[in-house]
Structure 1
Amino acid sequence: MSYQFYLPTTGAVSFSDFFEGEYTSDISDASAQRGRLRTVLKGHKKESEDARDLASIINTIDDYLPYLLSIIQCLESKELQATKPIETSWRSTLSDHIIHTGSNAPRIIGAGIHYELMFVLLTYAYATSLQGSEYVRTLQQMQPDSPTAPMPTNSPLATLYNKAADSLNTAASVFLHVADQVIPSYKLANKDSPVETLRDVSVALSKMTMADAQSVAINKALCFGNLSKSLAAKLYLGVASQYEMAYGLISSLKSGGGQEVASDIKKYILDGTLFYKAMAKKYLALDANDNQNMGVAVGFLRECKSDLKSVQQLSLTKPHQLRKSSTVAARALKEEDAVNDLLQKFTMINDTVAYQDVPTRQDLQRMIPSGRSVLEMKKYVPPVPVFGHFSNFGGKDDTSYARSGNYW
């Protein structure tokens, strides 16, 4: 499960119109690389979902970034001089708009080269997150709904799980890099700047996509049979906590220029918080059952069912349509079917054999442990620039191919 980002498009730009100094040929190459990115983003917008090539977009950004970072470094070292203020235009796909939404959102002009870098890296994060989503969808198609035994560790599913978690982890690291390294360098032009320029938005997206990566890693561990029920509960609580922090950041933002973070992002995060709290309670119930605490097991399953119902009630989709969708609410509906079976079974055992009191909601709340993480966030390291009198902007000692080690 991960959020389905819209990829932005951008207006045409020739860097030769803005700079004078050395590197005339390199500046032309930078314009050509940017033109390639603009073309693939426009093509992505027109293609059907099945025909979209996210790897091509990621590779094109990998090729463009060293040139863009070279321009930034040359500007900072005074090797390049801007002949006029640099402006680029990008669609704000994270904003709520009265008329336009998603990839049809209006393009917003921003001043400064860091505005360009910000949107390029955000687009990179969107694309890698979407690639993680594609891996998850493939997993769902290949994986049986109710495996009867742990899968072998050499299963092709293990590789897909790793790719999905890694893609989402990469997206989270890029979002955090934008928040900590790029946005502070961007000079806010006016109050009408898009929500993408707000640091808390990128931090929230980093937490959201990292939570998505964590959930994939948990599912892998459960499928391969090496995760205890009590630890699964703590890990799901960790996922819910990440979503909760993301929602807190976004919901506390003051809107500017009439724009706010898109409502479907807020809904996704809120749904995710409720869903993973429910999953944690399910595994707390299973752990209680293993330890002969049937009253506690029944109590947590009731609370789990209530949370799953809340997720579905927040959706405007009708139940029969929900079963065919891939939303969080659809997962909640499917999970509720399994929880109902468990609740019926555990209630019968408690009513006929165990005779244990079912704790109150307040007592159950006190039994909920702290959350934990299963993955560490990666650190995003920008590629090394390709021109300029410098050699270590990206934190590496030698220049290497931008896509070294990355093949799809």
Structure 2
Amino acid sequence: MTTIGYPYTLPTTGNVSFQEFFVLNAQYQRPVSDATAFRGRLRTALKEHKHSDRHDFLNVQKALEDYIPFLFGLVAGIENTELELSNEVETTWRCTISNIALSSKQPQVKHKSIHYEAIFTLLTLGYVLMDRANEYAQSVQNKILIAIGDISSYGKGHGEGSSSVGANHGANNTIHGSGSIPGSSSATSSSEFSIGISNSSNANSGNSSSGGSSGGGGGNSASRLFKKSSSNFSAKNSNTIGEFTDYLTDDDLAAIDHQLTTAADLYCKAAGVFEYIAQDMIPKWSNNSHITSTATAIVTTTQDVAGLNVNKSLSSKKFTPESIRPVDIQTSVVSAHIRLALAEAHSCTVRKAAIKAARASAIRQLISSGSSTVASGTTPKTSYVLLAKLTIGVKEEYERAYGLLKSVKDLNEISSDFRAHVKDAKVYYEALAQTLLGMDAYEAQHYGKAIGFLSLARTSFAALSKASKSHTIAQAAAFEYRLSNEKVIAFQKINDSVTFEQIPTQAQLLAVMPSGRDLLSSKKYMPPRPNFGIAATAGEGGQGGADESVKKLAYALQGAYF
């Protein structure tokens, strides 16, 4: 299974000098000046990241972590009146989740509040953690694609260059009760692939030799996925279904396990940051007396429309504190980020287990056929049903996220790409769960049920690879379509010649799908102690310093992820 984390665009911010907003005595001139300097460094890092071809997320994260203690010092100083304001702190951030209307750029939004600055800074930290996790997850997929010799075809995305074995099998391209499978019209040479059945069966399968791949992918687009002769296990059993794990060494699998563990940890940390914003910072902003008293005159949105700067002042109207905020920092949208982060953390953990299950399944098949000398006791079995339940849990997290997005007063304010990603991810993970249920039925030798579930998954993957507006999901669906298509064809051959089981209808299959299960929780964000002021020296700071965070722990390492 392929993870599909949303690729967040990091916001950028305008220049600001904090000295302009305070009446400073000698004690606070240096720390406030340092806060301005570290914010300037963060702004530079974000600008460089935006204009660079190679994104250095660690550099941005370091700049954020250096600036946040100074920012929390400002927040604590304002809240406990330690710092005297001459003017309300006003900063500008470019929104990246807001929809782009009549403009090629996201809107720059200016607000008067130190909490606005703190929320957007922490939101940027959450985005960075999500993007770092996405990089680890993508590196796993690249390693798999390189191992099976298929990186060129997958890189094209949206199904381009992907090969589909047995596409001209008339009976194989239909699901009992559900019609034809879209995107399965390409023909592939039977000599190019072995789908786990003997070569003589392939020769009689009716495949034409019109080329090795569809979509003009070139000669290198055909993967080695089902060429069992090149497998590390050198399969002799003609009834063995090929798995991509056959082409990964033990070192590869260990590296994949580490990368997925790291990705899951980063996703959980990001969820903790988003949770802190939604449960702590946004309520503080709403309850702050300065915000509620000036909520009618603090927002100016600047957009570049057709080369002209258009300022839309909202000061003449009455608004609630939530409605005047950009959609990026509304509670529902931030809460949706929590659900997405947890969903992908769950997905990474399930993917680790699924890879191990595929590896163990292939080894057990070889042991049963006498093709391997590995002891049977060394191949623990992972339940595909359990993996399916956990994957359905991922789908349900995306459903919750989409429900939160729909609670926004005007859904069109949210980026269409973001909405499409969340919506299509629900379908994608449901199809992955159906794939796992199909593999469970296959291991139980219920070929009719296996064909039914895998065919449902194949239909969904084919539709997503062609129609999804999310490039990430379209790429992943194209790859998963190929895997499910290969298995459907192989299982149908066995069922048509040996088992003759009836294939359940779509309604029957959906009725027996299990409910989802959760696996991980967010990793609590521990805000740093402010770098200056009373909160920096007191045992417990106004922003929940390190000592306060430790005191609140019920047990050692609470909130840690392993």
Counterpart Cα distance in 2 of 1:349 and 1:39: 61
Query: Are residues 336 and 63 of structure 1, via their aligned partners in 2, closer, same or farther at CA, if it must alter by over 3 Å?
Result: same
- Contact kept in structure 2, 1:384 and 1:399, CA below 8 Å: no
Deviation at 1:67, TM superposition (A): 0.8
Instruction: Find out whether 1:61 has 2:64 as its counterpart.
Output: yes
The equivalent of 1:299 in structure 2 is 452
Q: How does 1:218-297 map to 2 (within 5 A)?
A: 218-225=350-357, 227-255=382-410, 260-297=413-450
Instruction: Find out whether 1:335 has 2:468 as its counterpart.
Output: no
The equivalent of 1:203 in structure 2 is 335
Instruction: Compare 185-194 and 84-93 and name the one that shifted more.
Output: 185-194
Counterpart Cα distance in 1 of 2:34 and 2:415: 35
The equivalent of 1:172 in structure 2 is 271
Amino acid at match of 2:390: L
Deviation at 1:98, TM superposition (A): 1.4
Counterpart Cα distance in 1 of 2:119 and 2:350: 31
Q: So what's the TM-score if we normalise by structure 2?
A: 0.65
For structure 2, the 5+ residue unaligned runs are 149-243, 296-318, 358-379, 551-562
Counterpart Cα distance in 1 of 2:393 and 2:445: 26
Deviation at 1:373, TM superposition (A): 2.6
- Contact kept in structure 2, 1:385 and 1:394, CA below 8 Å: no
- Contact kept in structure 2, 1:150 and 1:224, CA below 8 Å: no
Counterpart Cα distance in 1 of 2:123 and 2:430: 29
The equivalent of 2:518 in structure 1 is 373
- Equivalent residue for 2:11, pick from 8, 17, 22: 8
Counterpart Cα distance in 1 of 2:265 and 2:102: 35
Counterpart Cα distance in 1 of 2:395 and 2:475: 18
Q: How does 1:100-249 map to 2 (within 5 A)?
A: 100=103, 104-143=105-144, 144-145=147-148, 146-148=244-246, 152=250, 155-187=254-286, 189=295, 190=319, 191-225=323-357, 227-249=382-404
Counterpart Cα distance in 1 of 2:60 and 2:326: 23
Deviation at 1:309, TM superposition (A): 2.5
- Contact kept in structure 2, 1:115 and 1:186, CA below 8 Å: yes
Deviation at 1:7, TM superposition (A): 0.9
Instruction: Find out whether 1:41 has 2:196 as its counterpart.
Output: no
Deviation at 1:385, TM superposition (A): 0.9
Counterpart Cα distance in 2 of 1:316 and 1:78: 49
Specify the SS of the correspondent of 2:502: coil
Deviation at 1:5, TM superposition (A): 1.0
Deviation at 1:69, TM superposition (A): 0.8
- Contact kept in structure 2, 1:151 and 1:223, CA below 8 Å: no
Counterpart Cα distance in 2 of 1:399 and 1:174: 14
Specify the SS of the correspondent of 2:111: strand
- Contact kept in structure 2, 1:382 and 1:394, CA below 8 Å: yes
Residue identity over aligned pairs, in percent, reads: 35
The equivalent of 1:397 in structure 2 is 547
Amino acid at match of 1:16: Q
> Could you list the per-position Cα deviations for residues 210-232 of structure 1 after superposition, in whole angstroms to 9, with x for gaps in the alignment?
21122122222223346321111
- Contact kept in structure 1, 2:530 and 2:545, CA below 8 Å: no
Specify the SS of the correspondent of 1:376: coil
- Equivalent residue for 2:499, pick from 349, 354, 378: 354
The equivalent of 1:79 in structure 2 is 82
How many residue pairs were aligned? 386
- Contact kept in structure 1, 2:336 and 2:405, CA below 8 Å: yes
Counterpart Cα distance in 2 of 1:11 and 1:150: 47
Counterpart Cα distance in 2 of 1:223 and 1:99: 45
Counterpart Cα distance in 2 of 1:91 and 1:203: 20
Counterpart Cα distance in 1 of 2:61 and 2:37: 16
Q: So what's the TM-score if we normalise by structure 1?
A: 0.88
Counterpart Cα distance in 1 of 2:137 and 2:498: 41
- Contact kept in structure 2, 1:271 and 1:329, CA below 8 Å: no
Query: Are residues 151 and 254 of structure 1, via their aligned partners in 2, closer, same or farther at CA, if it must alter by over 3 Å?
Result: farther
Deviation at 1:27, TM superposition (A): 0.9
Counterpart Cα distance in 1 of 2:454 and 2:69: 52
Higher radius of gyration, 1 or 2? 2
Query: Are residues 353 and 253 of structure 1, via their aligned partners in 2, closer, same or farther at CA, if it must alter by over 3 Å?
Result: same
Counterpart Cα distance in 2 of 1:273 and 1:315: 12
- Contact kept in structure 1, 2:428 and 2:460, CA below 8 Å: yes
Note the aligned Cα RMSD (angstroms): 2.3
Deviation at 1:316, TM superposition (A): 6.0
- Contact kept in structure 2, 1:54 and 1:127, CA below 8 Å: yes
Instruction: Compare 391-400 and 308-317 and name the one that shifted more.
Output: 391-400
- Contact kept in structure 2, 1:74 and 1:80, CA below 8 Å: yes
- Equivalent residue for 1:387, pick from 528, 532, 535: 532
Counterpart Cα distance in 2 of 1:244 and 1:277: 11
Deviation at 1:338, TM superposition (A): 1.5
Instruction: Find out whether 1:89 has 2:234 as its counterpart.
Output: no
Counterpart Cα distance in 2 of 1:370 and 1:23: 57
Counterpart Cα distance in 1 of 2:259 and 2:443: 31
> Could you list the per-position Cα deviations for residues 305-327 of structure 1 after superposition, in whole angstroms to 9, with x for gaps in the alignment?
2221332342369xxxxxxxx62
Amino acid at match of 1:213: A
Deviation at 1:395, TM superposition (A): 4.5
